[in-house]
Amino acid sequence: MNKKDHRVPDKAVSKCTSCGSDYGAFMPRHHCRNCRDLFCYKCTQGRIALTAEDNAPQVHVCDRCQKGLIQAKGAC
C-alpha cells in the first residue's frame, strides 16, 4: 500500500482558496497575513492591524479574516 498524503505544495495551488478563481497573469495570488492561505487579489483587499496598538502596521488579510478580526475587536 503506497498511500500518498494529500498535502498540496504551494506551487500546485492554482485556485483561490476563497472564491475558486484560477490564478494567472491577471489573477495574482496573495498570502493572507493572518491565516496564511493563498487567495486572489480580489479576496485579499482587506487591510487590518493585527494588534491593538495605535501604530500597529496594517497588513493584507483575506476577506474572511478581515471580517473575523473586526468582529473580534467589536464593532465601533
Q: Which residues bind Zn ion (CB under 5 A)?
A: 16, 18-19, 21, 32, 34-35, 39-40, 43, 62, 65
Nearest approach, Cβ of residue 19 and Zn ion (Å) = 3
> Which residues is 29 bridged to in the sheet?
40
Give whole-number Cα distances, 62 to 5, 24, 58, in Å: 27, 18, 13
Minimal distance, residue 33 CB to Zn ion, in Å: 8
Backbone angles phi, psi at 39, to 5 degrees: -140, 160
Is 6 strand, coil or helix? coil
* Residue (11 or 27) nearer to Zn ion, CB: 27
Q: Smallest distance, Å, CB 39 to Zn ion?
A: 5
